[in-house]
């Protein structure tokens, strides 16, 4: 990869021009251009991950989402990306040819999107803009920690997602209960995450996103990795469908300084281990390639 392309993947601003909600990212995980929709400008989350890479040095913006502004930003960005004009601008001028393609609209950003009451309307807007774009293979992606998928209003959003080439990217960083509480530092009980994981994977094939890291210089233990693989096998044996496991590590400054990225060779080793132990498709992404 060229130095320019490398820098492109590392560059991951959640702002573009004067936009408040919508930003473009060259995404190796999406294998092209991803349009991010940040519905957490308030930076709210019910997890407090030790590796969180959201910049909390500045406060978020509270208040309701301006849905009409979001729609206008999204329409404009999809047009810019689908027409290819976005690659004429300075931010993506050096993007490799094979990545010059709009792949998805990803609802993600600076917090947990399922916390926002506007989620169903936001998914509706994304679906409508996608339909009008005429790009049949354009995906809608919801990045989530999975803690609130059982809520009726979130279920409404998932239904729309399912009907519009949608995908859930479910964050699962821990196999054991102990490691979950150590990493996520959340009041959400572990059983709730697991129940939602199985339910979501039974309803449609999902993507698992797992961030692995060193804590105080030490990577995940063999025991933890064994428990994690067992959990994935249990989801599958309970009727859950996992279409892909994405393994990545940190790429930007984390919440806690005890957290550092895993070296590339360690990512490769763990990807191979998960593949072997679960039989699932697994993709690894190195530190410089990670996106949050
Ligand atoms: S990494 Fe995601 S789930 Fe974890 S605290 Fe940050 S925003 Fe929340």
Rounded distance, CA 129 to CA 71, Å? 8
| Alpha carbon of 153 to ligand 1 centroid (Å) | 21
For 234-262, the pLDDT digits (tens) are 999 999 999 999 999 999 899 999 999 99
| Alpha carbon of 173 to ligand 1 centroid (Å) | 11
List, as one string, the DSSP characters of 74-141.
HHHHHHHHHTTGGGGSTTTTT--GGG-SEEEEEEESSS-GGG-TTHHHHHHHHHHHHHHHT-TT-EEE
Residues 91-104 have a mean pLDDT of 93
| Alpha carbon of 111 to ligand 1 centroid (Å) | 6
Helix (H, G, I), strand (E, B) or coil at 196: helix
Task: Kindly indicate the confidence band of residue 1, based on its pLDDT and cuts at 50, 70 and 90.
Answer: very low
Alpha helix positions (H), 204-258: 222-237
The overall pTM is greater than 0.85: yes
Residue 287: other Cβ atoms inside 10 A: 18
Q: Is 245 a pocket residue for ligand 1 (Cβ < 6 Å)?
A: no
Rounded distance, CA 242 to CA 233, Å? 10
Residues 83-104 have a mean pLDDT of 93
Q: Is 48 a pocket residue for ligand 1 (Cβ < 6 Å)?
A: yes
Q: Is 54 a pocket residue for ligand 1 (Cβ < 6 Å)?
A: yes
What distance lies between CA 34 and its chain's CA centroid? 11
Name which residue sits closest to atom 7 of ligand 1, judged by CA.
111
- Strands annotated E in the chain: 22-27, 32-38, 102-108, 139-144, 166-171, 206-211, 213-215, 242-248, 259-261, 282-284
| Alpha carbon of 206 to ligand 1 centroid (Å) | 19
The total of structural domains in the chain comes to 1
CA distances from 87 to 75, 80, 81 (A): 17, 9, 8
Six-digit token pair at 97?
Answer: 């040819």
Place of tokens 């890291």: 213
Q: Is 55 a pocket residue for ligand 1 (Cβ < 6 Å)?
A: no
| Alpha carbon of 227 to ligand 1 centroid (Å) | 22
CB-based burial label for 263 (10 Å; 0-12, 13-18, 19+): middle
For 172-227, the pLDDT digits (tens) are 999 999 999 999 999 999 999 999 999 999 999 999 999 999 999 999 999 999 99
Q: What atom in ligand 1 is closest to the CA of residue 184?
A: 4
3-state DSSP helix/strand/coil percent for the chain, to nearest 5?
Answer: 40, 20, 40
Q: Is 45 a pocket residue for ligand 1 (Cβ < 6 Å)?
A: yes
Residues 25-47 have a mean pLDDT of 94
- Domain span at residue 89 reads 3-289
The CATH number for 154's domain is 3.20.20.70
**pLDDT reported for residue 2:** 43
For 38-92, the pLDDT digits (tens) are 999 999 999 999 999 998 888 899 999 999 999 999 999 999 999 999 999 999 9
Place of tokens 């009907």: 163
Q: Taking 60 as the threshold, does the pLDDT of residue 13 lie above it?
A: no
Pairing of strands 242-248, 282-284: parallel
Rounded distance, CA 110 to CA 38, Å? 7
């Amino acid at each position: 990869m060229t130095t320019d392309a490398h820098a492109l993947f590392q560059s991951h601003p959640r702002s573009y021009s004067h936009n408040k909600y919508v930003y473009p990212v060259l995404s190796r995980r999406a294998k092209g251009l991803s349009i991010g929709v940040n519905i957490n400008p308030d930076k709210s989350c019910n997890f407090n991950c030790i590796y969180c890479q959201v910049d909390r040095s500045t406060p978020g913006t509270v208040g309701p989402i301006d849905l009409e502004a979001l729609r206008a930003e999204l329409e404009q960005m999809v047009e810019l990306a689908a027409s290819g004009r976005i690659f004429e601008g300075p931010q993506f001028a050096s993007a490799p040819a094979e990545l010059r393609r709009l792949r998805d609209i990803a609802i993600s950003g600076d917090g947990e999107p399922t916390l926002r009451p506007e989620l169903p309307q936001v998914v509706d807007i994304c679906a409508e803009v996608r339909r009008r774009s005429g790009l049949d293979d354009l995906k809608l992606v919801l990045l989530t920690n999975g803690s609130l998928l059982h809520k009726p209003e979130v279920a409404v959003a998932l239904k729309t997602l399912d009907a519009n080439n949608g995908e859930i990217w479910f964050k699962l960083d821990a196999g054991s209960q102990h490691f979950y509480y150590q990493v996520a530092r959340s009041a959400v009980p572990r059983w709730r995450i697991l129940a939602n994981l199985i339910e979501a994977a039974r309803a449609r094939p999902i993507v698992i996103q797992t961030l692995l890291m060193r804590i105080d210089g030490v990577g995940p233990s063999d025991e933890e990795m064994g428990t994690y693989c067992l959990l994935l096998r249990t989801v599958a044996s309970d009727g859950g469908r996992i279409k892909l496991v994405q393994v990545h590590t940190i790429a930007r400054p984390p919440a806690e300084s005890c957290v550092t990225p895993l070296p590339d060779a360690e990512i490769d080793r763990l990807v191979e281990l998960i593949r072997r132990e679960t039989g699932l498709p697994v993709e690894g992404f190195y530190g410089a390639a990670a996106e949050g």
